[in-house]
């Protein structure tokens, strides 16, 4: 199966069995932004998770969190940030838009304050690298060694459909956990057709210590960066916020009658009957596909294409809330001016 289909089906399975939030395709490097992308991230709840749920459905900008803006007296926005004014301006506008800041004007100047203190809402972060076919490993070994040496996440797991041999285990760091994912035609699978067999348990990584991030490899040497604990802590917070705001339902449904929403896994996925699997609309679908069928031709005169609301589904199936109480209070307060 494709890595995309594997990833979505694994996320649907984990969502029904784990607390917290799941997200796909998040950056996990520090010195080289974008240098390492984790396939799946599981962010487990911390002591103030409910406060985060009530705060906003969107990711809070990191610059807004780090700004010298509290819940007490409002501050002139330019004095509250230690970054480029353009970045500060974007952070203020976004923080106000999502309800983390509120603003007021005094003598033509803009002042901001937090509507609530930023909560201690997450605890462990688990990264999952998906590699359905270990016969095509790509840069798997180097990626996992980076995850272990940098240690931005608390644990790292390799998820595969392949039979895992001792040779496979010997090629990856001992701290990496290994899951074999059985689907549909396997015996004893769960209600969603997926069963996870733990081949090797993952080991806790040293998230509170300095990390080593490999940068570029040259003959005979590899350039590295030593990443301080405070930089790792900021990155972990960004991962948590990005995961909370983004989630894992970041896929589209193609405008094709052959692809119909399938919720047999518990989550609605873009299943293509022609390919016989979940498909990535952005890279696999279009009029050039041999199985393409215009939606208008696949529906009868009295039938319309099925509607899919992934945000509502996330709201219904997870602790994340699309319209938290805090946002509703602000919106209702505006009604008096309507």
**pLDDT tops 70 at residue 40:** yes
Residue 189, pLDDT > 60, answer no
Give the pLDDT band (50/70/90) at residue 326: low
pLDDT of residue 138: 81
Handedness of CA 175, 181, 186, 188 (dihedral sign): positive
Q: Output the CA torsion sign for 13, 18, 24, 30.
A: negative
The string of pLDDT tens digits covering residues 117-147 is 999 999 999 999 999 999 888 899 999 999 9
Summarised one tens digit per residue, pLDDT across range 4-17 is 999 999 999 999 99
Q: What tokens were used for 175?
A: 């701290």
Interval 196-238: pLDDT, tens: 999 999 999 999 999 999 998 888 888 999 999 999 999 999 9
- Please report, for residues 62, 85, 181, 194, the alpha-carbon distance to residue 190 in angstroms, rounded to integers and kept in the order given: 39, 52, 11, 5
Question: What gap in Å lies between CA 117 and CA 55, rounded to an integer?
Answer: 9
């Amino acid at each position: 199966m494709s890595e995309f289909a594997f990833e979505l089906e694994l996320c649907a399975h984990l969502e029904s069995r784990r607390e917290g939030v799941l997200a796909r395709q998040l950056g996990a490097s520090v010195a080289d932004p974008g240098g390492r992308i984790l396939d799946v991230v599981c962010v487990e709840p911390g002591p103030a998770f409910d406060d985060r749920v009530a705060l906003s459905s969107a990711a809070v900008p990191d610059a807004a969190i780090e700004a010298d803006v509290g819940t007490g007296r409002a501050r002139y926005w330019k004095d509250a940030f230690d970054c480029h004014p353009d970045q500060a301006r974007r952070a203020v506008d976004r923080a106000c838009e999502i309800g983390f800041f509120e603003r007021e004007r005094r003598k033509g100047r803009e002042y901001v304050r937090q509507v609530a203190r930023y909560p201690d809402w997450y605890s462990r972060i688990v990264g999952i690298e998906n590699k359905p076919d270990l016969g095509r490993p790509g840069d798997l070994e180097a990626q996992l060694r980076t995850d272990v040496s940098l240690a931005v996440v608390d644990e790292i797991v390799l998820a595969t459909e392949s039979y895992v041999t001792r040779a496979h285990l010997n090629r990856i760091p001992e701290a990496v956990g290994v899951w074999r994912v059985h689907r549909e035609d396997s015996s004893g699978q769960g209600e969603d057709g997926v069963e996870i067999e733990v081949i090797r348990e993952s080991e806790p990584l040293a998230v509170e210590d300095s990390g080593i991030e490999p940068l570029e490899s040259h003959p005979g040497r590899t350039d590295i960066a030593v990443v301080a604990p405070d930089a790792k802590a900021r990155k972990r917070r960004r991962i948590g916020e990005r995961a909370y705001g983004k989630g894992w339902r970041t896929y589209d449904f193609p405008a094709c009658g052959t692809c119909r929403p399938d919720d047999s896994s518990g989550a609605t996925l873009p299943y293509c009957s022609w390919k016989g699997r979940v498909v990535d609309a952005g890279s696999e679908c279009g009029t050039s596909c041999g199985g393409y069928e215009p939606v208008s031709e696949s529906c009868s005169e009295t039938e319309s294409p099925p509607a899919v609301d992934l945000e509502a589904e996330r709201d219904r199936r997870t602790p994340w809330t699309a319209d938290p109480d805090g946002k509703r209070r602000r919106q209702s307060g505006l009604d008096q001016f309507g």
